[in-house]
Homo-oligomer: A and B are copies of this chain.
Amino acid sequence: MQAHSDSSRRRFLRDASLAGLTFSIPSIVKAAYREEKAKKIALQPGDVVLFQGDSITDAGRKKDEKGSNNTAALGSGYAMLAGSELLLRHAGKNLQVYNKGISGNKVYQLAERWDADCLQLQPKVLSILIGVNDFWHTLTNGYKGTIETYRKDFTALLDRTKEKLPGVQLIIGEPFAVTGIKAVDDKWYPAFNDYREAARQIADKYDAVFIPYQKIFDKAQKSAPGAYWTGDGVHPTLAGAKLMAQAWLEAVKG
């Protein structure tokens, strides 16, 4: 039945595309994923799903709000948008969705608060998007970390995580930037690309699902210009956050 369903689904998507329906963005997301490993995460009843990262994940969340599945505590970015869809699609599973992203964070700052903001929550699914500040702040804030710092800190963080939470299912998002939009200029390249590649290699090493955000933002510009998806080249607009959520949800079954 599964095979029939999959084949029927493919047929529908093909027909929808041929019929000129507005499936362009979902198609872009799916196409970007097809070039990655096909692995997807299965959610079990009661699973804790934790989003971690920097301002892109934070997205204005209320730090004094407690509990899971709390709209204000989830912010108004991709984590909240993806979380809302998880709660709808998996309504019977009693999932517990948290967002603990903090604006401005680099990997070492995740490490400083990892006990309280990750390990104690005992996530079954842990999604991390980190790296743009590890690079960007070398341009703007005098931060002295290098690509090796990023790689070493990220690896140490995941070793520590796997030791304490051996069964955790990891999702690692690719750091991304939209070239030509405000903050993102030629000074970013080629150095920033090393952070993207490092994140991908680390995802491979830890058997994480890798979300190719850069490819997705690049391809989305066939539908609308870069400024539609991000205000400053780094932080997504509402459309960009929804694009990220759509991409994130492809990492999960169902």
Contacts and interface: CB of A to CB of B under 8 A. Distances in A.
A90 interface: yes
A29 to B, nearest CB: 10
* Secondary structure class of chain A's binding surface, majority of residues: helix
B5 A239 contact: no
A179 interface: no
Most buried by B among A12, A19, A70: A12
Contacts of A18: 1, 5
Number of copies: 2
A237 to B, nearest CB: 7
A242 interface: yes
Interface in A199-239: 220, 223-224, 228, 237-239
Interface in A3-20: 4-5, 8-9, 11-12, 15-16, 18-19
A5 B12 contact: yes
